Structure 1
Amino acid sequence: MAKEMTIDLSKITLRPYKISYVDDFLMYGGDDKVTRFIIIVPKSGDDRCRADVGYALAAEYWGQGIAARAVKMAIAQGLKEFPDVVRFQALVELENNASQKVLEKLGFLKEGNHEEVCNTLDIS
Structure 2
Amino acid sequence: MDGPSIPIPNEEKREEGISYSNISLRPIELSDLDDFMVWATDDRVTRFCSWESYTSREAALDYIKQNIIPHPWYRVICLENRPVGAISVIPGSGNDNCRGELGYVLASKYWGKGIVTKAVKLVVSSIFKEWPHLMRLEALVDVENPGSQKVLEKVGFQKEGVLRKYLIQKGSIRDMVMYSLLSIDSKLVD
* Unmatched segments (≥5 aa) in structure 1: none
The residue correspondences of 1:1-124 to structure 2 (distance < 5 A) are: 5-35=16-46, 37-113=86-162, 114=164, 115-124=175-184
Identical positions, percent: 47
SS in 1 for 2:16: coil
Larger radius of gyration: 2
Verify the 8 A CA contact 2:102 2:138 in the aligned structure 1.
Answer: yes
Q: 1:122 is matched by which residue type in structure 2?
A: L
Verify the 8 A CA contact 1:40 1:75 in the aligned structure 2.
Answer: no
Verify the 8 A CA contact 1:42 1:82 in the aligned structure 2.
Answer: no
Larger fraction in strand = 2
Deviations 1:56-99 (A, max 9, x none): 11111111110000011112221122111111001111110000
* Unmatched segments (≥5 aa) in structure 2: 1-14, 50-85, 165-174, 185-190
Verify the 8 A CA contact 2:128 2:183 in the aligned structure 1.
Answer: no
Verify the 8 A CA contact 2:138 2:181 in the aligned structure 1.
Answer: yes
Cα distance in structure 1, aligned partners of 2:113 and 2:132: 30
Verify the 8 A CA contact 1:92 1:117 in the aligned structure 2.
Answer: yes
TM-score (norm 2): 0.60
| RMSD between aligned residues | 1.4
Cα distance in structure 2, aligned partners of 1:71 and 1:122: 14
Cα distance in structure 2, aligned partners of 1:40 and 1:68: 15
The alpha carbon displacement at 1:6 in A equals 2.8
Question: Aligned pair count?
Answer: 121
Following TM superposition, the consecutive aligned residue runs of length 4 or more in structure 1 with deviations greater than 3 angstroms are none
Verify the 8 A CA contact 1:91 1:117 in the aligned structure 2.
Answer: yes
